[in-house]
Amino acid sequence: MTALRSASSIDTIACVGAGTIGGGWAAYFLARGYRVKVWDPAEDAAEKLGRLIDAAWPALAELDMVEGADKSAFTVHRDLAEAVADAGFVQESAPENLQLKRELFAELDELTAPDVVIGSSTSGYPMTEMAVNLVHPERFVVGHPFNPPYLIPLVEVVGGELTDPAAVRWAAEFYELIGKSVILMEREVPGFIANRLQEALWREALHMIDQGEATVEQIDRSITDGPGLRWPMHGPMLTFHLAGGEGGMAHMLDHFGPSLKSPWTRLLAPELTGQLRDAVVAGCDLAAGERSFADLVAERDAGIVAIRKLAGGQR
Amino acid sequence: MTALRSASSIDTIACVGAGTIGGGWAAYFLARGYRVKVWDPAEDAAEKLGRLIDAAWPALAELDMVEGADKSAFTVHRDLAEAVADAGFVQESAPENLQLKRELFAELDELTAPDVVIGSSTSGYPMTEMAVNLVHPERFVVGHPFNPPYLIPLVEVVGGELTDPAAVRWAAEFYELIGKSVILMEREVPGFIANRLQEALWREALHMIDQGEATVEQIDRSITDGPGLRWPMHGPMLTFHLAGGEGGMAHMLDHFGPSLKSPWTRLLAPELTGQLRDAVVAGCDLAAGERSFADLVAERDAGIVAIRKLAGGQR
């Protein structure tokens, strides 16, 4: 592929689509000091975007904003060619519709120089399914954010079959450069990682509501007042590493392994082979690193205390 | 059934089992001003419990401790009869083994007065399966906490077929009295609510690790740096209510409904019938109450900012 332009030389970014996600990206890019050109066909796009950026700005000022960031450094366009002209990077956040994405990608492919990387905010389509019939598919990469993109650090980065690995690396480095927490996936999986986990939980919740097993209020409170208080500190794996007590994940799996067979969710578990057990245990040991059991407990508890004491006192 | 003793008259609680969960309960009860009698057959139970209470005490002092709480107001017993004598409430947190729970329940049934409610910390067994061959099964109730029980507010309360609804209500009121966030379930479901949701996520994670789709580190970071930052403020339902933009959950379901058919997790979704759609939308509208879209966004954002700024700066 064409040599990609240097990520640090970029001063203008095009946001294609200015809904909740695209508008959130625009706010983030502005806070990082970029000039942002936004394309959206909606009549009231500029007005809505202005409101979104106004609402996001104070939070951005507390966390990720760089000096000299200008919240008015954006323009809204109804002509796509105009929006992407002179943009060093394009973040596409159009509605989640495969045919629409394909058509939009074809246009973007034609309207942008081949050394410009195009990141897609798709919630779950593999790039291989979106990047069809393109002249330069090698610079199309998934860069999947979480709502609100101006506050949640995670961006999942993965290419399609026709994406050049150099473009995938470029996107990962670019998102890291602007302060994001990047997960670079080696392999295309529908829904990527976080949305697969979140979707499993969401589908179990829908089944429970459907069957009258729980109400919407109970589902939400079971998370906000329960496991949701632990997850900002430790993900599901380290959480269960701690639940195993001083024996950690090894004790957890050897002891609670049988509950994997319990009908505790509608999702069947994989067979807990020795290989899977060992991979999970090794991953947790690696993640814990030099932190002892007591260190991890102290870290978790300090986090829960702080969250429960949040101003506003929602908990 | 026998009239239950008044929850507010209780001054002594028996903790049956002093592992991570039972010991955590003991710490919490002490912080709430109770005298605690602990039964555990392990040689080093007293020593481990002392360490656990010492570690938990500073966090308890920040949040839920009552005046006059005494962290040394506990005794450890190897004789069950001695431990439960004069206890006004029993919290059972033995290892998760059905046969063991049944035998322990039979002993507790014999050793405690019939007006004493017995709460079980079981992670997922329905009370109907545990309370068999008892003389007074009507006062056995599930009171399922989350690790660590001294900091996580959630307790799921549900009876079995033979439990008196008055005992279920008594347990719910007791846990509320001591500062817990109680979900009273109308119906026995294996895994209750939060563990079903958490287990669906955990099983999807295990499948992904098993198939080489994600590493342990990626699974954890996808939650801590992603959706996990939202869940302490808004559960999965209100989170998606917000993802729907100003159109809320109705827009979300009508717009993203088709993604329920996507292979985004190994768990198949229920059919999104009009009835299910309406129930979810109505539940979210009820939960949002008088909070506008802008109010909810501000609440979520303030929470994420505060969590990301936590002392220690894990994020």
Query: Is pLDDT of B192 > 80?
Result: yes
Q: In this structure, is residue A220 part of a structural domain?
A: no
Question: B173 with B232, same domain?
Answer: no
Query: Is pLDDT of B172 > 80?
Result: yes
Percent of chain A with pLDDT over 70: 98
Question: A45 with A149, same domain?
Answer: yes
Please answer yes or no on whether A307 and B208 come within 8 Å at the CB atom. Answer: no
Q: In this structure, is residue B253 part of a structural domain?
A: yes
Range scoring the smallest mean pLDDT among A3-17, B80-94, B170-184, B199-213: A3-17
How far is residue B75 from each of residues A120, A255, B66, B105, measured CA to CA in Å?
60, 28, 20, 21
Percent of chain A with pLDDT over 90: 86
Rounded to the nearest angstrom, the minimum Cα separation between A86 and chain B is 30
Query: Is pLDDT of B287 > 60?
Result: yes
Rounded to the nearest angstrom, the minimum Cα separation between B256 and chain A is 8
Q: In this structure, is residue B155 part of a structural domain?
A: yes
- Any chain B CB within 8 A of the CB of A11? no
**If pLDDT is split at 50, 70 and 90, which confidence band does B1 have?**
low
Give A37's strand partners.
Answer: A14, A75
| Domain finish residue from A156, A184, A212 | A184
Q: In this structure, is residue B219 part of a structural domain?
A: no
Q: In this structure, is residue B204 part of a structural domain?
A: no
Nearest to A200 among B187, B240, B265 (CB): B265
Please answer yes or no on whether A309 and B63 come within 8 Å at the CB atom. Answer: yes
For residue B188, give the nearest of B130, B115, B132, B272 by alpha carbon. Answer: B130
Question: A176 with A240, same domain?
Answer: no
Please answer yes or no on whether B96 and A189 come within 8 Å at the CB atom. Answer: no
Could you tell me which residue, B302 or A155, shows the higher pLDDT? A155
Q: Which residue of B has its CA nearest to A265?
A: B196
pLDDT of residue A2: 72
Give B263's strand partners.
Answer: none
- Any chain A CB within 8 A of the CB of B206? yes
Q: For the segment B270-282, what is each residue's pLDDT rounded down to a tens digit?
A: 999 999 999 999 9
Q: In this structure, is residue A215 part of a structural domain?
A: no
Query: Is pLDDT of B133 > 90?
Result: yes
Q: Are B229 and A152 in contact (CB under 8 A)?
A: yes
Q: In this structure, is residue A240 part of a structural domain?
A: yes
Query: Is pLDDT of A261 > 90?
Result: no
Question: A125 with A234, same domain?
Answer: no
Query: How far is B30 from A280, CA to CA, in rounded Å?
Result: 36
Please answer yes or no on whether B220 and A236 come within 8 Å at the CB atom. Answer: yes
Please answer yes or no on whether B193 and A214 come within 8 Å at the CB atom. Answer: yes
CATH number at B22 reads: 3.40.50.720
Residues of A in contact with B123 (CB under 8 A): 256, 259
Question: A27 with A158, same domain?
Answer: yes
Number of domains in chain A: 2
Give B157's strand partners.
Answer: B143, B184
pLDDT of residue A142: 98
Q: For the segment B10-68, what is each residue's pLDDT rounded down to a tens digit?
A: 999 999 999 999 999 999 999 999 999 999 999 999 999 999 999 999 999 999 999 99
Please answer yes or no on whether A154 and B222 come within 8 Å at the CB atom. Answer: yes
pLDDT, average across residues A93-100: 94
Query: Is pLDDT of A202 > 60?
Result: yes
Question: A161 with A111, same domain?
Answer: yes
pLDDT, average across residues A186-212: 96
For residue A91, give the nearest of A71, A72, A112, A73 by alpha carbon. Answer: A112
Rounded to the nearest angstrom, the minimum Cα separation between A282 and chain B is 9
DSSP string, chain A: -PPPPPGGG--EEEEE--SHHHHHHHHHHHHTT-EEEEE---TTHHHHHHHHHHHHHHHHHHHTPPTT--TT-EEEES-HHHHHTT-SEEEE---S-HHHHHHHHHHHHHHS-TTSEEEE--SS--HHHH--S-S-GGGEEEEE--SSTTT--EEEEEE-TTS-HHHHHHHHHHHHHTT-EEEE-SS--TTTTHHHHHHHHHHHHHHHHHTTSS-HHHHHHHHHTTGGGTTTTS-HHHHHHHHTGGGHHHHHHHHHGGGGGS-SSSSPPPP--HHHHHHHHHHHHHHHTT--HHHHHHHHHHHHHHHHT-TT---
Question: B233 with B164, same domain?
Answer: no
Residue burial B57-95, b: 16+ Cβ < 10 Å; e: rest? bebbeebbbeeebebebbebbeebeebbeebbbbbbbbe
> Which range marks the domain in which residue B244 is found?
225-308
| Domain finish residue from B161, B184, B207 | B184
**If pLDDT is split at 50, 70 and 90, which confidence band does B311 have?**
low
> How crowded is the C-beta side of B7, counted as CA atoms within 13 Å?
15
pLDDT of residue B261: 85
- Mean residue pLDDT across chain A: 94
| Domain finish residue from B165, B184, B203 | B184
pLDDT, average across residues A151-156: 97
Please answer yes or no on whether B267 and A264 come within 8 Å at the CB atom. Answer: no
Please answer yes or no on whether A201 and B197 come within 8 Å at the CB atom. Answer: yes
**If pLDDT is split at 50, 70 and 90, which confidence band does B245 have?**
confident
Please answer yes or no on whether A196 and B204 come within 8 Å at the CB atom. Answer: yes
- Strand duo B154-159 + B181-184: pairing: parallel
- Any chain B CB within 8 A of the CB of A194? yes
**If pLDDT is split at 50, 70 and 90, which confidence band does A267 have?**
very high
Nearest to B259 among A123, A259, A273 (CB): A123
How far is residue A291 from each of residues A1, A288, B120, B133, measured CA to CA in Å?
44, 5, 32, 46
Give A13's strand partners.
Answer: A36, A89
Question: B159 with B240, same domain?
Answer: no
Question: B174 with B230, same domain?
Answer: no
Q: For the segment A244-260, what is each residue's pLDDT rounded down to a tens digit?
A: 888 899 999 988 777 78
DSSP string, B253-293: HHHHGGGGGSSSSSSPPPP--HHHHHHHHHHHHHHHTT--H
pLDDT of residue B124: 85
Q: In this structure, is residue A192 part of a structural domain?
A: no
Q: Are B26 and B51 in contact (CB under 8 A)?
A: no
Residue to test with chain A: of B218, B233, B242, B292, most A Cβ within 10 A = B218
Could you tell me which residue, A87 or B247, shows the higher pLDDT? A87
For residue A189, give the nearest of A128, A147, A145 by alpha carbon. Answer: A128
Question: B151 with B94, same domain?
Answer: yes
pLDDT of residue B239: 95
pLDDT of residue A6: 86
Query: Is pLDDT of A221 > 60?
Result: yes
Q: CA A102, A103, A106: angle at the middle one, nearest 5?
A: 90
Question: B26 with B104, same domain?
Answer: yes
pLDDT of residue A315: 53
pLDDT of residue B232: 94
Question: B116 with B245, same domain?
Answer: no
- Any chain A CB within 8 A of the CB of B182? no
Count of CB atoms situated within 10 Å of the CB of A50 = 15
How far is residue B262 from each of residues B251, B268, B289, measured CA to CA in Å?
18, 9, 31
Residue to test with chain B: of A123, A215, A223, most B Cβ within 10 A = A223
pLDDT of residue B313: 52
pLDDT of residue A53: 97
